[in-house]
Each structure stands twice: as C-alpha cells, then as structure tokens.
Amino acid sequence: MPEISPIVLLLLGLLIVVAGILIVRLHPILALLSGAVLIGWLTADSQLQLFAQSRGLSETQINNLLNQSFGERIAIAFGETSGKIGLLIVLASIIGKCLLDSGAAERIVRSMLKVFGESKAPGAFMVSSFILAIPIFFDTIFYLMVPLARAMGVRKEKSYALYIMAIIAGGTMAHSLVPPTPGPLFAAGALGVSIGMMIIMGTVIGLICSGAGLAYAYWLNKNQFIPLRSTNDVPVEELKSWLNKDTSTLPSFFMSNLPIALPVVLIAGKTIIESQPHFYPDGILSFFKVVGDPVIALFIATIIALAILSKQSSYKLKELKTPVEEAILSAGMIVLITCAGGAFGAILQQTSIGNWLVDLSKDVKLAVLPLAFLVTAVIRTAQGSATVSMITAIGMLTVFNTPGAMSFHPVYLAIVIGCGSKLFPWMNDSGFWIITKMSGFTEGESIRNFSLLLTIMGVVGLIATMILAKLFPLIG
C-alpha cells in the first residue's frame, strides 16, 4: 500500500470520528473504532518504523510492531489506556456514588456555601481544582470533584455547566504548567529551568489563564442552558431529595471530606518524598511508595466512602452490593469510551505525525515563543495527550535553548509549551470522554464547554507569557 501523508490520515480520522458522532449519530465507541481501523489500515510499514525509531525502540521491538496487524495494535492501545485509567475511573465512580448517596457531597456543598456564598462558588471550585491538580493528574481531581458540582447543580441548575467549567479551568492549567506533574517537570529539566522557578511562573501564568477561563465560563453560561442530567447510578430526583434534609442527619464535615482529601494527601506525599528521597527514612519512603500509588490511594478512599455510606444508611455489608454495582455499571461505559479514544489517539501517533511535524517546523520562520506554542498545539490536536505533546515538542524545541538563541529566560519557553498543550482537545483525547460522560454533557456541549475553554486559556497564556518575557526577560 502506498504511503499516505500523516496529515491526510489525521484529516481522514477527524472526518470519520466527528461526522460519525455528530452527524450519523453513531455511538462514540463505534465512531472511534471506525476511525482507528481506517487509519490503522492505511498506515504504511515505513511510517510505523519511523514512529518506532523516534520512540527509541530496539530492533526487536520494531520488528514486533511491524509484525502486528492493525487490529492487534488497536487492541494493545485500548488495553494500555485501560491499564492507565480503567481502575481509577471505577474506584472514583464508587467514591462519587457513596459521596452522593450518603449525603457527604451535600454536607461539603453546604459548608462551602456557608463560607463563600453561592455567588463565589465557581471561583472556589476553580482555585480548589488548581491547587489539587498541582501534585495530581487532572483526571483524578475531576473524578473527585464532579459529585460536588452535581450537588451544587441541584441548587442552581442554570449554573451547573459553570461549576463543571470552573473545575476544568483550574485543574487543567495546573496540570500542564506547575510541577511536579510530568509535563512541566520534564520541560523544566530539559530546558535547564529550576523547579522553583517553574512552580512560581507556572502558578502566575496558570492563574491568569484559569481566570480567563472562568470569565469565558461565566459568559458562555449566560448564553446556554445545560440541564443537570441523570446518570446511570444517580438520578437527578435523588440529588434533589437531599435539599430538605437537616444538616444534623448528614455525615460530619471531616468524614465527608476524607474520601477526597486522603488520596490527594497520599499521592501528593509520594510525589514530594520521591523528589527529595534522601531527606526521609526508608520506612517513610516504603510507606508512601505503596499508599501513594493512585490506585491504592483511591482504593483506601473507596473503603472509607463505603464505610460512610454504610453508617449513614444503616446498610449491612451485603446491602452495599447494589450501590457498588450501579457505580461500576456507570463507570464501565466511561472506561470503554475512554479506552476507544485512547486507542484512536495511539493509532494516529503511529502514522509518524510527530516526525512530520518536526520536519515541517524546520521550514517555519516565526518568533520562538509563538513557534513553540504552535508546534505544541498542533501535536496536541493531532494525537490527543497534553503530556505527550509537551514532551514531543520539547524534544523538537530544545535547539532554541542555546546561548544567543533566545533573549529571555528559558522558563518562558517551557510555559508556552505548556500553554500550547491546551489547544484543541477533541474526540481523540481520553479526557474529553471522561468529562463528557461524567458530567452528562453531549459531545457538542463538551466542545463548547471543554475544548473551546482550554483553547482560550492556552491563547491567553501565550499572550501573557510574551508580555512578561518582554517586560522581565531575565528573571531569576
């Protein structure tokens, strides 16, 4: 089969998936698998080999990849995505179900409203999500905060989408700009930027971007109405039933927050300790290595959440089977769609689209910061992962980080790469499907409330970074 340009394959995949979902109304799993099958079938062995070589695979690994059918490659990518997020989604779904059914989410929302008031709730969601996402992947934060947004949405349904967007606005920017999450951590190391400087500048630019995202969220929310829809495990009527409950019948504030706060502390503790292991005894290192793993941390939180539900509802152990089954059934569909999206993104990567972009960028004559932003944005849109797009772009752009090549501190280059990784997440991004299915949005609603939101924040980040690089070129 003759080799087809990676950009043509990307456009074909885009057409199949978007048209399949939005026009033909195929189920997302079928649309994503259709795109993956077509692209996998059309990808030439020479493109596979180029992709494998760019990933540093050995000769044996390259031969193994070439000997796999495109069906095997799709199945392997599907399984790898499931291995990364499958259990996390299932456990988070059980935690969310327990928080809602026990009244814990209702208790947290009442306490938050007492402190901030209803008018400041979106800002509180944004700041909380930003802080929590510094040590932890955004997906995990979103799993844990969605129940709170749904509980708030019962009170003010017109603002439900605003609460979801506020969580997204805070968490996604911290994820790509503030270490120790992998993308900004790798960027800092590759460009010779100190972790402290990356944290400071990432936080400054990240909060500017998140603020712009929140402003867009307020504007969009005035011009749309997305109802609070029932999910497979929690009907809206059940959420509304909590509004008239006396606060004294709800779990304590401490216990309500424990299933959310504990995994955050454990995962963040592992990240902090592993960054400076020589400061801590071996016992502490071993402890956090086990309990700080995201799966184990969420499993511990799941046990606590089930205990809260059991106590509040006077359930015996066997009676917990029903809510757990409901949560798992709901999570199963999310896992399948997310993994199909991950497989589609992986098959796109195997077309060697990254290498094509490297060659293209050699002929593009733009200023360094806009060029870095553009390259990262195109890679993100092409293959679906913010972290992978950052790492790929940094490999291409470190050539600029040489004496005389830039008139400003390299932290600005690291920041614009992070901002570029926000543009335009769509159906090949597993996060797109997690947000769509857990929030109850349609695909079109997710494009307006997630994809465009991130795109706006990324562009604002580029502008803010260029202004700061002009005013304070040699900070630190």
Burial-class residue 24 by CB neighbours within 10 Å (0-12, 13-18, 19+).
exposed
Same domain, 276 and 390: no
Same domain, 180 and 100: yes
DSSP string, 178-195: STTSHHHHHHHHHHT--H
Output the pLDDT for position 358.
58
Output the pLDDT for position 159.
92
Output the pLDDT for position 135.
60
Q: What is the mean pLDDT of each run of 10 residues along the chain (476 residues)?
A: 80 80 78 88 87 81 86 90 81 82 80 81 87 72 81 88 94 84 76 80 93 96 90 69 76 86 81 78 87 88 91 79 83 78 79 69 62 83 74 64 66 92 83 86 92 95 93 76
Same domain, 298 and 418: no
Same domain, 38 and 165: no
Same domain, 343 and 304: no
Give domain status of residue 119, yes or no.
Answer: yes
Q: What is the pTM of this model?
A: 0.69
From 336, 361, 395, the end of a domain falls on 336
Same domain, 392 and 453: yes
Question: How far, in Å, CA of 377 to CA of 195, rounded?
Answer: 24
Question: How far, in Å, CA of 64 to CA of 410, rounded?
Answer: 39
Question: How far, in Å, CA of 310 to CA of 98, rounded?
Answer: 9
Question: How far, in Å, CA of 108 to CA of 259, rounded?
Answer: 12
Same domain, 454 and 355: yes
| Contacts for 60 with CB less than 8 Å, ≥ 6 apart | none
Same domain, 62 and 95: no
Output the pLDDT for position 375.
79
Same domain, 77 and 104: no
What the block records as the tokens of 166 is: 């506020």
Same domain, 54 and 192: no
Give domain status of residue 133, yes or no.
Answer: yes
Q: How does DSSP classify residue 136? A: S
Question: How far, in Å, CA of 148 to CA of 418, rounded?
Answer: 28
Give domain status of residue 196, yes or no.
Answer: yes
| Amino acid letter for position 304 | I
| Amino acid letter for position 54 | S
* Chain centre to alpha carbon of residue 237: 29
Query: Most distant CA pair in the chain: distance in Å?
Result: 70
Output the pLDDT for position 182.
67
From 336, 360, 390, the end of a domain falls on 336
Question: How far, in Å, CA of 39 to CA of 426, rounded?
Answer: 17
Q: For the CA atoms of the chain, what is the radius of gyration?
A: 22
| Contacts for 385 with CB less than 8 Å, ≥ 6 apart | 345, 429, 430
Question: How far, in Å, CA of 287 to CA of 23, rounded?
Answer: 51
Question: How far, in Å, CA of 132 to CA of 138, rounded?
Answer: 8
Output the pLDDT for position 365.
43
> What are the Cα distances from residue 228, in Å, to 204, 234, 239, 260, 341?
33, 11, 10, 22, 25
- Tally of domains within the chain: 2
Task: Report the candidate in 354, 382, 328, 335 with the shortest Cα–Cα distance to residue 79.
Answer: 335
From 282, 315, 336, the end of a domain falls on 336
Output the pLDDT for position 371.
82
Give domain status of residue 327, yes or no.
Answer: yes
Q: Residue 289's domain spans which residues?
A: 83-336
Give domain status of residue 476, yes or no.
Answer: no
Q: How does DSSP classify residue 24? A: S
Output the pLDDT for position 218.
96
Give domain status of residue 224, yes or no.
Answer: yes
